[in-house]
Amino acid sequence: MSLPGEDDFDAAADSFRRELLVHCYRMLGSFDEAEDLVQETMLRAWRARERFDPARASLRTWLYRIATNACLTALEGRARRALPSQLYAASEDPETPLVPDLEVPWLQPLPARHLLGSSADPQERSAELNGVRLALVAALQVLPPRQRAVLVLRDVLQFSAVEVAHQLSSTVAGVNSALQRARATIAHLRPEPEMVVEPDDPTERSVVQRYVEAFEAADVAALVALLSADVELEMPPVPLWYRGRADYGRFMNRVFAMRGDGWRMVATSANGQPALAAYCPDGGDRLALHTLQVLTVTRYEVSRNVVFADPTMLEAFGLAPVLVR
């Protein structure tokens, strides 16, 4: 794409804002920081607009170079964002106090409105959704920042090795070496089970609907029946997680004992995955927003549930704070 003229620079650059946000999110593991970095990218691009040469690179490639390097600068000296299962051993005590650790930079989810919609090209949409699944984004944070950048630019965004070398002021040999190391690390981490269903798959919708029905009925037995044997339940910012149907069920018994029944679940989406906003009884006819549950569905089961409770993060999803029965 060539730049049509200085007066049109903002419009031309702004057309890439959404995908740059997704890129920065993959790099940082934080929706909040990704928004800030996109703003910084646009500012840097505006200041350097006279140096943009469409004969050397497309505007998209040039903007990705600015965004990636802004992310690398932001990541210098920072602790990586993570999920509880990456930092601690699984708990076997369903009565462990639920004390949040706000000192840990927890991984954040990505609201669906920033991803390609159902009207987009099916292959492009599938590639983008699969490239932001929570487990993959969490695994990316384990990589050194430059390896992370190379893997995302090459394998997710499909830039050529020559383009990535230019974006990172490196060499093709350096890019290929970093890519090989990054792929080996990701393969070892196995961020997703092989049988994760495709987004919007009828099987996924059926499992999620049955999960909603069981949860709203406070039917722990029915809920557990929908889980895989090695299901994982995580709850950032609480540094606590459980593995397996039995512990998941014991924890849910605790939740319903503490909060009562009469919950309502509102379907949404995060990271290309089904998500549920959970509203708990709050006295009278009110239901208060409690958490956002992001599900991973494999075959006919839920294999992971990452439950986010940070109020600031919940605001990013535009969820109503209160529902009336």
pLDDT, tens digit, 9 for 90 and up, residues 238-289: 999 999 999 999 999 999 999 999 999 999 999 999 999 999 999 888 999 9
In a domain, 13, yes or no: yes
CATH number at residue 272: 3.10.450.50
Choose among 288, 306, 289: nearest CA to 297: 306
Query: Does 3 have pLDDT greater than 50?
Result: no
Confidence tier at 233 by pLDDT (50, 70, 90):
very high
* In the predicted structure, residue 167 carries a pLDDT above the cut 60: yes
Q: How many Cβ atoms from other residues are within 10 Å of residue 216's Cβ?
A: 15
Residue 1 lies inside a defined structural domain of this protein = yes
Please write the tens of the pLDDT for every residue from 58-95. Answer: 999 999 999 999 999 999 989 999 999 999 999 999 99
- Res 10: pLDDT: 86
Average pLDDT, the chain: 92
Q: What domain range includes position 72?
A: 1-77
pLDDT (0 to 100) of residue 194: 53
Residue where one domain finishes, among candidates 77, 110, 143 = 77
Greater pLDDT, 201 or 290: 290
Instruction: Answer yes or no: are the C-beta atoms of 250 and 286 closer than 8 Å.
Output: no
115 domain residue, yes or no: no
Write the CA distances from 246 to 164, 272, 305, 320, integer angstroms.
47, 28, 15, 32
Q: Is residue 145 part of a domain?
A: no
Strands 264-270 and 286-298: unpaired
Domain assignment present for residue 180? The answer is no
Instruction: State how far the Cα of 47 lies from the Cα of 65, in Å rounded to an integer.
Output: 15
Q: Return the CATH number at 2.
A: 1.10.1740.10
Q: Residue 324's beta-bridge partner residues? A: 286
Number of separate domains in the chain: 2
pLDDT digits (tens, 9 = 90+) for 98-127: 999 999 999 999 999 999 887 888 888 888
Single residue among 60, 77, 94 that ends a domain in this structure:
77
Structure tokens at 176: 């290929």
More confident residue, 219 or 310: 219
The Cβ of residue 37 has, within 10 Å, a number of other Cβ atoms equal to 25
Residue 6 has pLDDT above 80, yes or no: no
Residue 165: the pLDDT is 97
Domain boundary among 77, 111, 128: 77
Identify the three-state secondary structure at position 267.
strand
